[in-house]
């Protein structure tokens, strides 16, 4: 076939032309061949206008990039840039959807404590057992006594027993029995509800203190040498043995009854300032120091050899003082 006047095809088929131009079309041939592209991405070749020539030789139509290539959905680039549809990057590039951490990341759900302890996991600690119940009996036992019929009892009857001070619990009735030379540090019933104290020979060398509704104190030979003090509502002190209560007696409250019947008893003197006072110094040479009595009434009785230091009464009427 005569090909004069036709354009010369590019034998390489991949370069030298304009995208989608394909070369020069011969108007003398009225053949219905579609005009093809000439190279990758429509570039680089001349369309051959001859017969039996393949159309769009030199490359694959629309090549130059895969559709939507370059990244994942919603990339950081604009769609359709520099290429075919969606070229320049796959859609949604820049990372996986919801990147930045797994769901709920940043801390474990419910962290910050365990349930049962500030909202965290269940409290698996063993329960704390409470201490023993506090009762009058337990309080009495803590002081060394035994609780019997609403009374704290201190049995210091063995000779020389209870070397430390006997202390009656607060607001409990107390009974203290001190054997020979026992209760050497004395008896403190200043907080008791009531006091019943017995001191055998030479016992209660320390001070004896009474309070509460009633104070009953009995002192044997040479006992209660540490001094006696009572502010109970009703006080009865009996120094019935020789040389008992040798270190002075003081008494106040509603009523004080003091008996110094032992020979040489109450050597340290007697001072009583209750509302009603009764002092008896009947033992030989009892109450050798001054007997001081003040209050609403004073009844002081002295034997012929007692009260060598005299009696000082400062009370209302009726009163009886030597």
CA distance 306 to 298: 17
Provide the 3-class DSSP secondary structure of residue 175: strand
How crowded is residue 3: how many other Cβ atoms within 10 Å of its Cβ?
A: 12
Contact present, 233 and 255 (Cβ < 8 Å): yes
Q: What is the pLDDT of residues 28-55, one digit of tens each?
A: 333 343 434 333 333 333 333 333 434 3
Q: Which residue blocks in 51-209 are alpha helix, DSSP H?
A: 136-142
Percent with pLDDT over 90 in the chain? 56
CA distance 191 to 195: 10
Least confident residue range of 110-124, 194-208, 217-231: 110-124
In 115-167, the DSSP E strands lie at: 146-147, 152-156, 166-167
CA distance 32 to 49: 10
Enumerate the β-bridge partners of residue 299. Answer: 278, 320
- Looking at residue 120, its pLDDT comes to 52
Mean pLDDT of the 258-276 span: 97
Q: What is the pLDDT of residues 243-261, one digit of tens each?
A: 999 999 999 999 999 999 9
Q: What is the pLDDT of residues 282-320, one digit of tens each?
A: 999 999 999 999 999 999 999 999 999 999 999 888 889
Q: What is the pLDDT of residues 62-118, one digit of tens each?
A: 333 333 333 333 434 344 444 344 434 334 344 333 444 444 444 444 444 444 445
Query: pTM here?
Result: 0.60
Enumerate the β-bridge partners of residue 277. Answer: 256, 298
- Residue 128: pLDDT band by 50, 70, 90 thresholds? low
CA distance 63 to 43: 9
Enumerate the β-bridge partners of residue 301. Answer: 280
């Amino acid at each position: 076939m005569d090909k004069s006047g036709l354009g010369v095809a590019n034998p390489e088929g991949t370069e030298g032309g304009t995208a989608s131009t394909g070369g020069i079309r011969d108007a003398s041939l009225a053949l219905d061949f579609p005009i093809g592209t000439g190279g990758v991405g429509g570039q680089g070749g001349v369309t051959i206008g001859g017969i039996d020539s393949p159309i769009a030789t030199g490359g694959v139509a629309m090549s130059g990039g895969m559709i939507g290539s370059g990244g994942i959905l919603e990339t950081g680039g604009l769609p359709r840039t520099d290429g075919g549809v969606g070229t320049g990057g796959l859609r949604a590039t820049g990372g996986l959807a919801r990147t930045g951490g797994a769901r709920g990341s940043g801390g474990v759900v419910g962290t910050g404590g365990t349930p049962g302890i500030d909202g965290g996991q269940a409290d698996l600690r063993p329960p704390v057992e409470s201490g023993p119940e506090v009762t009058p009996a337990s309080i009495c036992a803590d002081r060394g006594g035994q609780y019997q019929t609403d009374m704290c009892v201190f049995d210091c009857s063995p000779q020389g027993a209870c070397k430390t001070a006997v202390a009656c619990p607060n607001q409990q009735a107390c009974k203290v029995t001190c054997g020979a030379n026992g209760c050497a540090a004395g008896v403190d019933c200043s907080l008791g509800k009531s006091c019943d104290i017995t001191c055998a020979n030479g016992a209660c060398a320390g001070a004896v203190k009474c309070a509460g509704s009633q104070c009953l104190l009995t002192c044997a030979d040479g006992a209660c040498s540490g001094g006696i003090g009572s502010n109970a509502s009703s006080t009865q002190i009996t120094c019935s043995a020789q040389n008992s209560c040798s270190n002075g007696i003081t008494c106040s409250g509603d009523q004080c009854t003091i008996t110094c019947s032992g020979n040489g008893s109450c050597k340290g003197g007697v001072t009583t300032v209750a509302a009603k006072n009764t002092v008896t110094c009947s033992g030989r040479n009892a109450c050798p120091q001054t007997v001081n009595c003040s209050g609403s009434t004073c009844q002081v009785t002295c034997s012929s050899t007692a009260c060598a230091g005299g009696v000082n009464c400062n009370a209302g009427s009726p009163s009886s003082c030597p």
